[in-house]
Structures are given as C-alpha cells and as structure tokens.
Chains A and B, each alone.
Chain A
Amino acid sequence: MRTILTAQFLSLQTFESWSDEHVCERLTVSFHPILTQIYCKAEKFLESVEGNQNYPLLLLTLLEKSQDNVIRVCAAVTFKNYIKRNWRIVEDEPNKVSDADRTAIKANIVNLMLSSPEQIQKQLSDAISIIGREDFPQKWPDLLTEMVTRFRSGDFHIINGVLRTAHSLFKRYRHEFKSNELWSEIKLVLDTFALPLTELFKATIELCQTHATDVNALKVLFSSLTLISKLFYSLNFQDLPEFFEDNMETWMTNFHGLLTLDNKLLQTNDEEEAGLLELLKSQICDNAALYAQKYDEEFQPYLPRFVTAIWNLLVSTGQEVKYDLLVSNAIQFLASVCERPHYKHLFEDQNTLTSICEKVIVPNMEFRSADEEAFEDNSEEYIRRDLEGSDIDTRRRAACDLVRGLCKFFEGPVTAIFSGYVSSMLSDYAQNPGENWKHKDAAIYLVTSLASKAQTQKHGITQANELVNLNEFFVNHILTDLKSPNVNEFPVLKADAIKYVMIFRSQLPKDQLLQAVPLLITHLQAVSTVEHTYAAHALERLFTMRGPNNTTLISPAEMAPFTEQLLNNLFNALAVPGSEENEYIMKAIMRSFSLLQDSIVPYIPTLIGQLTQKLLLVSKNPSKPHFNHYLFESLCLSVRITCKANPTTVSSFEEALFPVFTEILQNDVQEFLPYVFQVMSLLLEIHSNSIPSTYMGLFPHLLQPVLWERTGNIPPLVRLLQAYLEKGAATIASSAADKIPGLLGVFQKLIASKANDHQGFYLLNSIIEHMPTDSITHYRKQIFVLLFQRLQSSKTTKFIKSFLVFINLYCVKYGAIALQEIFDSIQPKMFGMVLEKIIIPEVQKVSGPVEKKICAVGITKILTECPSMMDTEYTKLWTPLLQALIGLFELPEDDSIPDDEHFIDIEDTPGYQTAFSQLAFAGKKEHDPIGDAVGNPKILLAQSLHKLSTACPGRVPSMLTTSLNAEALQYLQGYLQAATVQLV
C-alpha cells in the first residue's frame, strides 16, 4: 500500500488531472485505523493541494455523492478543518480560498448540511459557523433568510440542523462587548429571526402535546426546545430586545409550563448523563436568571411564578448525578433572587423558609455515593473540590450560596431552623453511628456553611455567624471524632473534623488548637489519603498562625513533646501509596522545619537522606510542581538551620546533595535547574572567604549560553555567579582568568534585554566590587561602551536607575577621577554630559536604601574629590549636582514611569518558559558594598565638603551662596552642624 501511494504521489503533477477518486483514497487512508503510519503523509498531501481552486468543492461533492459512509464523514471532517485553516482572510496575507469557491460554498453548504445525516450535519454546521464568524452578515446576507425558510419545512431533522447552526453563530453574543457593530448584527438577526423562532417555539410545544406518547418524536422535539431556549439566551443577552419585550408573555408562559412539565417517556435510566428534560429545564433556569438579573423591571410580574416553579422542581428532583447541573442552576437562581430587597417577601414566611431549608438545602448537602466514591478512589479530585473550592457547580456549593443569600435578611430564623436540623441529625448519628454517619457529615457541613461569613486561605474563616457556637460544637462533636482511638474508622467524619479545625482555626481558642495538634499528628497515620492529607494540611496551617508579637502562635517549645512523632509521621505518610508526591505533606514538612528550627538539628542527618532520595526519585520525571517546590524549600531550611548553629556542617550537605545535583545538571532537568542554582548559592554563601574546588570545576559550565537562554535560570544563575565572585574572585583571577571574557559575555547578553538588564548590572557590580583591579582593567572601557550603546538604543527608567548605581559604585571603588577619566576617554566632555543629562535629572528615581547610599557616596566623591569639577567647564554643574544629591537625601523618591514603558517586561519575554521559582528559604540577605565604611552619607558629605573647602578656601561657600537654592542650603547647614564642621 505504501509503495503504491508513493507512486501516486509522484505521478500527480497537476491538480487538473485529479479526480474524486484520488481525494477519496487519500481520505480513506487518512481515517483508516490500521494505516496510521500513512495517515500523516496522506494528510500532508491533502494539505499540500488544498490551495488549488475547486478543492473544497470537490470535498463537498464527495461528501454528498459518495456511497461509502466512512468517506463521507472523512470528507466532512476534512472540509471543516480546511475551512478552519483557510477561510479567514488575514491582512497582508494572500487569500487562501478563491472567490469563486467562496461563493459556491456559501450557496450550497446550508442545503447540504440540512440534507445530510447527523454525523455530517454537525461537521458542516461547525463549518458554517466558522464561515459565518467571518462573513455574516455583510458577506452572507441571505444566510438567515435561507435558514428561517427551513423552519417551515416541518422536518425536525432539518429544523434542528438550522437551530444548531444558529446557536453556534449567535452564542458569541453572550460574551462579547457591546459595540455598534455587534448590536447592528443582533438587530438584523432579531428582525429576521425572532418572529419565526417564536412561531417555531409555539408550534413545537403544540407538537409535544400531540405527540405526547411518541417517545421518538418527543426526543427530537425536546432537542429543538433546548436549542430554542439556548438561542433565546443568546439573543436576549446583550439587552432586552423590543421584540422579546413585546412577546414576553408567550415566552415566559411557555417556559414556565415547560419547567413544570414531566413526561415519563423522557426520563432516562442513566444516573450520570443529564437527559433531555434536565437539559431543557437547566437552560430555562438560566434564562429566568438572566431576566431576573438584567431585566428585573420588565420581568417582575413573572418572577414569583418562576420562584415557585423552580422551588417545586427542586423539591421533586432526585439525588442522581444527572440532575446536578439542573439543581445547581435552580438553586443559584433562588440564591440570587432571595438577596434582592424587593423579593424578600417571597421568602419571608416561616413556613416557606422552613420548607426551603428542609427540602432544598438539607437534601443537597448530603454526602452522596458519588462523593463517597471520590473520597475513596479519586482523593485528588475530592480534595480539590472540598478544600480548594473548585466546587463551583456542585450542589453543595449551590446550597451553601443559598444559605448565605437567605442569611442576608433572615439570619436569625434560618440559623434557628438549621440548629434544629443539626441536633436531629447528630442524634440520628449518636443512635447508630455505623448506619447514620452521613447524617453527622451533613450536620458538620451545615454548621460550617452557616457559620462562615468570610474566609481566606491564609487565615481560614475570619468572620463567623455569631449565632453559631463554634466552640461548643468543637468540644462536643469534633474533638470526640479526633480523639477516637481508631483513626481509620469513619474516615469521612475524621476528615470533616480535621477540616473543621483547619477552617475555624482563627475562631478557636489557642488551648483547643493545642489540644488538637497531637491528635492531628496521629491522623497522619491514617490509611485514607484524604484523611492524612487533611491532617498534614491542618498542621501546616496551624503552624503559620501568628500570635501576639508576631511570633508563631504555637511555639517550638510547645511542640517539643511531639517533634519526633510529627517528623516520623510526616515522612511515613509520604511512603503511603498514592501520597508519594503529596504536596500537602511536603508543605507540612517544610512548615514544621521552619517552626521547629533548632529542634530539628538532631534529626537532620536522617531527614536529609530521605529528602535527597525523594529528590532523586522525582527528578526522573518531575510532575508535581508544588511538591517539588516544597521539597527544595525543605532542603534549604535543613541547610540554613543546621549551618546557623555550625557553619562547618555545610560540607556534609554538599556531600549529600552534590551527587543528585550533578545528575540533575547532567540530565538537564529544566524544571529543577533554578532550584539547584539557588541551593548551591545558599551553600556557597555559607563558606567563609574561599571557594571549594568542587565549585570551581563547575564554573565554566555555568557560563554556557544555553543555560542563559531560559529566562527561569537567569535570576538564580546571576545570584550563583555573584556568590562565586564574592567568595572566589581571587581564585577566578588567578586560575580561571580565561573565563573572564565569558563572564562579561553573560553581562553583555543580559544588559541587551530590557527585561533582564538589571540582572546584568547585579553581575557587573559584583565584578567591579570583588574582582582584583588588574584582572579587569583592560575590559573597563569596553564595558562603558556597551552601556552607552544600550543607552542610545533603548533608554528605559529601569536601565537608568541601574546605570546610576553602577557608575557611582565604580566611583566609590576606583575614585572620582577614574570615573571622569574613563568617560572622557570614550569621548571628550562625555563626563559633563553624563552629569547633566543623566545623573542630575534622574538620580531622584533611584530606589532602595543601599542603592541610594551608593549614589550618595559616589556623588559626594565626584563633588569633592574630582579636580575637574572645580576648574573646568564642568564647574557649572557642581551646584546642580549638589542640589540633586540633597534632593536624593530629602525628597520623596520619584517612582513615575513614562507611559511607553509600562509593558516592557511582557514584550521582552518571548513565549512561555519555566518561570523562575524563587525559594523563600534560599533567600539571601541584602548586600551593602559600602557597609559600615560610611555610616551616614549626609555626614560624609559635610566632612568631604569641609575638606574640600579647606583645600581651596573661599570657593565652596561662594558657590553655595550664589546658586544653591535656599531650602537646599538649609538642609546642608543641618548636615554641617551635625558633623560639627564649618566651611571656609
């Protein structure tokens, strides 16, 4: 087969010599399951010829005329994909479909779609909506009329085809912004479509009555009704059209009728998949909710009827999963209505409230068998829903929202009603726990949703319903479960109890939390993944809580009795199948280390072994980013805590970690490289001023351009190189001097980028600060030239700020004269230009205390240690520079950013790359290159000015009095006084 095909490939020279059969074969090939290998070739071939005129028409002919159904479907799919790829006319690109083909396609496709079997109809309908998106309405004016005409065909296969196509054409009205263009289109659609749609709606409902016993007919008719309801939603979304306002009675009366309708024939046996009735009613709930929200004034007369109907619907709908969407939509409708003051009266009656609570809320809070399955077999999904709030469309969430909505006006009565329920459910449980444990689950859920008024990840519930006694409930019903000796009995209730502690942690008194801690530690041993995960999570959250004085609420001393068990249980839980990469447990490990600090030191030798093993394991196939992140954080904490007590232990960490790190580097595990660089930086920074040879061996590899291509590597690599320079500048100069150009190459690459230039400056500043002067002397001028090139090509505020810090650091390190000379050597008078155009006007923008200090000291040196400032044309800049310096001391920072710079970072970050994942516990302390040498830069300025004035008496005071502004002069006098010096 393959050889034949190849032969045909070669024999096909022109498209004209081609017939249907060729396309046919290609198509059959491309869809035949056994021939997958040829598939790509065939598909490529078809794509290669699709630019020819007639090609799409050929496909249409094929799908219309072929006898072979497989070929027909293939042709339809290929056609749709062709349209998707080629129909849009992109500016400045050639039109990929000839005008003749376009016209012919538009003339035939609606007919063809409507006369095709459903499988093909769907493909063609998609194709029409793609074309419609581009051409409708201007370039396809008769599409709508053509479609509307089909409503009269009486053939519901055709009608549903039209409706489906209309739905895909109109559904964008639901999310697009209002614009004249959009609204003109909608107006046009309404003019041709609204009336026929309404007639069709009425006719279809009548047909449902006449065919009430014919299940097949009903199915088709109900599909139509659902599509019609969807169209109603789209057409009414942007605003209430005049037509629908005038015909509201027809639509709403019928919608209401459909909501209350039931037909045994349409009930499905499937428990999961929603049936036609459910889909239709769901959509009607959405339609009613749309009107209630946006067109309240007009909809008001109908609303009470809908409230009653939807409520009755809820009362009579079962627990099966297939009803979930309907129930959740219906409850959300009630929730949104009951919050509105003018509908308050619909809910006010005690009987109404009781019945909503009893029949709508409580049943939908029950733990269902589907939840039970998820708890046991799909714990990740269960946790995501229950803990992280991805339960948007669930019944429980909707019921919760309804509780909150009702509490807006009826908090007292609702709380009272539910309290009764909670007691009775709890007593059911007490009578027969084995049978009725789900009652207790519902009771806890009810208390939780009733009590919580505001919640955050960081603090749990921050505002509670005062009518609920959380404390009492905790003591009587939660603690008992936590204390039960068998952690594996009723795991759902255990998980509930743990969750209760976790979310109400800010509301419960400390002594009760302390009571819970050892119990939670015990629950880490549970077999149930959800249960031990919740225990880990709860402990982690408790450990982050802050007490008075901003210390942790729970102190390491209070944890001392449980430390060993805590660590043991956490690490053991990581060994339970299914929890090997459990991010909650890993986070709890990290948090425990952070809380316990010194008390973990004795366990570190064991723990570090376990952590590195885990690291080795996950580095084979990193799949859980959170888990990995916390793993590295935990490693950092181990290093910091241990080395703080005894820095010499750093080598034992290096011994343990370097083999794994080497493997990660060698295998280029991209996700982990930024982490590895950070941990290495942390380790290297602990060394006192020398650099072990293991690090030096790695140095050349760190300069490889490929590593610098990935944006996520840049910050940690720069930091690592800075650590190399701080600890090993002398070693680099002596034994790796040939690598200096490579180092500067990195700098050059970084400053060329608007996004990374500040990183380039970090590196450059470290080079200037630490490298022996001689080793970089002959690179200096080149460095300045590069910086000027960047200044000229794209000057940004961020660049200027970094540039200012750099030149002042240079001045501090090499002296003001050296700075002036290097500028003037690039171009005469350059130094003056830099002062006038950059330093004086921009220094106010420098941010950060260390950066400001560097600039202050640098400028002081320029003012007082640079002879050319006193005796040349630069002299006129002396006072302005001094004034700028005083401004830097006294004025608020200028943090304005020019308008054209707001989006720099985006434009410079090409595509998606592994983001830089910063490790909090690898953090380094801020480095001050000037340090204690200058305590107070203002005093330094005063003293330096004093020194200058004694060297050339009379000149300084005269410059000050003639041109320094009065306010600045006043500040300056303050500095002089504080330094107890006088100018002469």
Chain B
Amino acid sequence: MPTKNVTDERLGKFKNKGKDPAKLREKRISECVELRKAHKNESFMKRRNVTLSSLPDEEALSPDYSTDTVMVFSIEDIIKEVNSDIKEAQIRGCQAARKLLSQERNPPLKAIIDAGLLSRFVSFLVMDDEPTLQFEAAWALTNIASGTSWHTQQVVESGAVPAFISLLASPMLHISEQAVWALGNIAGDGAASRDILIECSVIPALLARIAPDTPVGYLRNLTWTLSNLCRNKNPFPPLSAIMQVLPSLIQLLHFSDKDILSDACWAISYLSDGENERIDVVVHTGIVPRLVELMGHDELSVMTPALRSIGNIVSGSDLQTQAAVDSGVLNVLPQLMRHPKASVQKEAAWALSNIAAGPCKQIQQLITCGLLPPLVEQLTNGDFKTQREAVWAVTNFTSGGTVEQVVQLVRCGALEAIINLLQVKDAKVILVILDAINNIFMAAEKIGETDKLSLLVEELGGLDRIEMLQNHDNEIVYQAAHALIEKYFCDPDPTLTLNNPTPALK
C-alpha cells in the first residue's frame, strides 16, 4: 500500500503551492537603489588619515615632521619642489603635498592631480634607496586615492598599482603599511579597480606579509584591504582570487583583535552576499561555526558583520541553511532579536525570515529554539524595519510550515500582531501580511477550522482592516484584500451574515 508516498507527495505540493521555494526567500537584491543614508555600521570603503601602526620615530623619518605649523606651502611651491631635481626639495614638496591632502576639509585633490604630480609621485615610489621620499609620495597618493572614484581612477591610471604592490615587500614596515593602505583605498573604489589589483597579483603580495611576528596594527590595515578586495558585486571578485584569500581570512577570523575580526567578518559577508555557489565557497571552509560564535561577540563592530554573513548564508539553499542551524545559529538569534540596537534586531529578523523559508524540519528547530516569542515581540513592538523582516518571517513560516506549526505560531500571538500591522504605511508589507493571513487560512482549512479562524480574525479587528484595504490605492493590495473577504468572510450560510450578496466592484 503506497500510503506513505501519497501523503508525502501531497505535502510537498501543499508546501510549495506551485512556487519555486527559492522564490519565497527574500534575498537582498543585488545593487539595489537606496534612498537612505549609507549604513552607519558598515565598514568604510575608503579611508584617509589612518594612523600607521608602524610609523618609526618621527624625528628619524623626517626632520621637520613635527614643525609643520611653520611650513606653509602653496600649490605652486609644491609643484616647483616636487618637480625639482634635488632630493631634499622633492621630499619637502611631497611632504607638503601630503599634509595639504591630509587636511580635514576640502583637501585640494584635484589641484594636485591637475598639476600633473601623480606620475611624479609614482616615480618616487620605486626609489628604494630613498625611503623617506617613497613614504611621503605613497602617503600623498593614498590620500588622493581616498577621494571620489574619479580621484582614485587618476591614481590607478598614473601607474601606481604595480609600484604599490612592489612596495608591499619593502623592508621598512611603515612604507609597506602605507602601500597596504593605498591599495585598500583603490580596492574599495569598485569592482573594476579591485580586479585591476587582483590581476597585478596583489593578493599573494599581501598574504606574504602575514607572519607570526606581524604587528597587530599592520594586520588590521591588511585585513581591511583584504576585505575591500572581497567587496563589491557586478561582477564579483574572480573565484580564483577568493580561493587565494579565504585560507588567510579564516586564519584572521581566529584572532582576538576586534578590528581584525570585524574586517575579516565584513570580508566574509561580502563573499557570501550572492548566489548559492558563492555561499558554498564560504560554507565549505568550515568557518560557519566560528561565524556563529562571533555573532555573540560583545563588540557591535564584530557581531554586525558576523550576523550579516550568517544572514547571507541562510538565504542560500536548505543545505547551506542547515550548516548554520547545525552550528547553533538558532541559539544565538533569540538574544540578537532582543538586542537593544534596532539595526541588529532587523538583521536578526532578516536571517530568521530566511530560515523560516526552509523545510518544516528547520521551522521545527526554529520553534524548539524559542524564536517564536521574540518574533512576536518584534512584530508587536519592533522598529519598522524589523517589523518588515518579521512579517516576511511569518509569511515564509506559514507557507512552508505544517498545520501544527502554523497553529503554534498563531497561538503565540503572531496573527494578532500581523493584523495590527495592516495599518502600516507600506504597500508591500501589507501585501505580505495578507499573504500570511491567506496561508493561515489554508492551514485552517486542512483541519476544518476556517470558520473559527474567520471569527478570530474578526475579533482581532482584522476584518475591519482588510475591508478597509479594499479602498487601497494599490491595485494588487486591493485585489488580495478583496479575495480574502470573498473567500473567508462571506458566510456559506448567507442568512447568518449576508453582508454582500453582490460582489463589490471597485
């Protein structure tokens, strides 16, 4: 008797309901347009005026380093000095240029470029016997590369890339570090610049500097540069480059320094922000348990990118998600859902929404780990961005969960919470909620409790709200609301609550 097969197959059909399960998951759209301020928590793409960890004694480096207050150079002076044939003048010019470029407000990046000084600086980079000049030129170029994309382009086009890569091997640590920093700025500019660096074999040169005795400060800058080399999509960094970087990143992820951890996590988050094949590469390194551990890190700057990475991973396949679940992500999420910072709650809810889009086995684990109460708390009292993710979690949950699981969700107060959210000023969220309500009704149908659910929805004020949505300006919202009313709120015994014998026309 094929009883088992028959029911299993049916269950499968119910769960997917003709949809590709992958589509249920809300993945971050690649390169989506943002109206908001750039995310405050994310790491910087470019940096200026980083303190070098390895700066030697200032006096030894340049005699007038500390007396910059007296030296006031005009651009014209600088041009003259830099273009001079005398080493001392060149050094003076470079130093003056770098100082001018380091000022907080409106550094004259363009003026220096227009003066044609870039190729001159680049030519200084290769003068291994003039470390001071090398250093000052590198610093000046770094500051220019920290400008807009156009500024960075000029640095790249002046041929600085191979020169900086060579400088990485400099025996003088502070010069090498300056090169790391410059390269980081170039890598952070975008996919194109990043790939130019990769083609010039920047990665082996960088990795060669990681050694047991490398100072932590240096490693911080290096990790940041590596993270920029992993950054940006369209296109992603080439797979071969990623394979080169990953082992070292994994190594860095086991450090205890929070800045190194933070940037290494950001790197992983960039690498995992993409198609499932990309996620696979990360998962296969076996780093997932460590990432889950770092999700519980005390430092926001570490926890945020770790959470982002895990969020990306659980947006992947069921198998990839399972790797995160097996590493205990569901034990960490409840505390993150209740984190005092709204942005953390939001990311946690996003991760949860993707786990809820999985098979009912994973949904069960989610229930077992006690995620329903914090989910409902967020739906009820959360920040709007968190509520939006939490609503997605409910809809995914209700479309893939078993009837028992859906019943449990409703018992925890999720239905009441999403009904209250129907007054939210966001058409998409409303539509997603209507979808969830529809899913819950379909579960109720399976156990013959549609009428009970209709009454419950009405008691919770849901019927009023859904009826009101029939006036919504968004056509699709109107249709979804109308369909729900038609299907579940027109009593089959019309004599009991006949409200609408003729269909309402808009």
Contact = CB atoms under 8 A, between A and B. Distances in A.
Contact of A892 (B6, B427, B505): B6
A190 B35 contact: yes
B428 interface: yes
Interface string A577-611: 00000000001001100100000000000000000
A921 B495 contact: yes
Given A239-B35, A968-B1, A912 B505 contact: yes
Interface stretch (A171-179, A350-358, A767-775): A171-179
B501 A625 contact: yes
Interface residues of A, number: 72
Contacts, number: 138
B36 A242 contact: yes
A968 B14 CA distance: 27
Interface string B485-506: 0000000011111110111010
A939 B499 CA distance: 47
A187 to B, nearest CB: 6
B476 to A, nearest CB: 8
A340 interface: yes
A296 interface: yes
Interface in A181-224: 183-184, 186-187, 190
B460 A454 contact: yes
B431 interface: yes
A920 interface: yes
Contact of B1 (A184, A296, A341, A967): A967
A544 B498 CA distance: 13
B7 A892 contact: yes
Given A175-B427, A293-B384, A891-B6, A626 B36 contact: no
Contacts of B13: 896
Interface stretch (A71-79, A455-463, A524-532, A725-733): A455-463
B492 to A, nearest CB: 9
B498 to A, nearest CB: 6
A186 B461 CA distance: 34
B455 A459 contact: yes
B472 interface: yes
B10 A896 contact: yes
A107 interface: no
Which residue of A175, A293, A920 has the most chain B CB atoms within 10 A of its CB atom?
A175
Contact of B33 (A187, A336, A458): A187
A238 interface: yes
Given A297-B383, A894-B10, A965-B1, A187 B494 contact: no
A415 interface: no
A240 B35 contact: yes
A454 B463 CA distance: 12
Given A891-B6, A965-B1, A457 B36 contact: no
A965 B431 CA distance: 48
Interface in B12-46: 13-14, 17-18, 29, 32-38
Interface string A85-111: 000000000000000000000000000
B326 interface: no
B318 interface: no
Contact of A389 (B464, B476, B495): B464
Interface in A289-304: 290, 293-297
A591 B493 CA distance: 13
A180 B35 contact: no
A286 to B, nearest CB: 9
Interface in B362-400: 381, 383-384
A455 B37 CA distance: 44
Contacts of A919: 494
B473 interface: yes
A629 B498 contact: yes
Contacts of B6: 844, 891-892, 894
B35 A187 contact: yes
A564 interface: no
Contacts of A544: 496
Given A180-B33, A186-B35, A241-B36, A454 B425 contact: no
A158 to B, nearest CB: 29
B381 A463 contact: no
A973 interface: no
A239 B33 CA distance: 11
B342 interface: yes
Contacts of A294: 384, 424-426
B474 interface: yes
Interface in A891-936: 891-892, 894-896, 899, 902, 912, 914-915, 917-921
Nearest to A297: B342
Interface string B101-112: 000000000000
A175 B474 contact: yes
Given A175-B473, A892-B7, A921-B495, A245 B37 contact: yes
A481 interface: no
A237 B425 contact: yes
A890 interface: yes
Interface residues of B, number: 54
B427 A462 contact: no
A393 B35 CA distance: 32
A240 B29 contact: no
Which residue of B381, B383, B423, B459 has the most chain A CB atoms within 10 A of its CB atom?
B459
B69 interface: no
Contacts of B18: 899, 902
A454 B459 contact: yes
Contacts of A902: 18
A455 B457 CA distance: 10
Contacts of B428: 177-178
A899 B458 CA distance: 31
A240 B1 contact: no
A180 B32 contact: yes
A912 B503 contact: yes
B472 A175 contact: yes
Contact of A455 (B35, B459, B496): B459
A633 interface: yes
A463 B459 contact: yes
Contact of A176 (B32, B474, B501): B474
Given A240-B35, A626-B501, A176 B427 contact: yes
A242 B464 CA distance: 36
B503 A456 contact: no
B3 interface: yes
A4 interface: no
Interface in B181-204: none
Contacts of A175: 427, 472-474, 477
Interface in B416-450: 423-428, 431
Interface string B447-487: 00000000100111101100010001110110000000000
A261 interface: no
B33 A293 contact: no
A34 interface: no
Contact of B494 (A899, A917, A971): A917
Contacts of B497: 457-458
A698 interface: no
Nearest to B460: A454
A293 B381 contact: no
Contacts of B495: 587, 590-591, 594, 630, 633, 920-921
A242 B37 contact: yes
26 contacts: A175-B473, A175-B477, A177-B427, A177-B474, A183-B34, A237-B425, A241-B35, A241-B36, A290-B425, A293-B384, A293-B425, A294-B384, A297-B342, A455-B458, A456-B463, A457-B499, A626-B498, A630-B498, A891-B1, A891-B3, A894-B10, A899-B17, A899-B18, A915-B503, A919-B494, A921-B495
Which 5 A-B residue pairings sit nearest by Cβ, starting from the closest? A967-B1, A899-B18, A454-B459, A175-B473, A183-B33
Given A917-B494, A920-B495, 13 more contacts: A177-B431, A187-B33, A242-B36, A245-B36, A246-B37, A340-B381, A392-B468, A463-B459, A544-B496, A629-B498, A887-B1, A890-B1, A891-B3
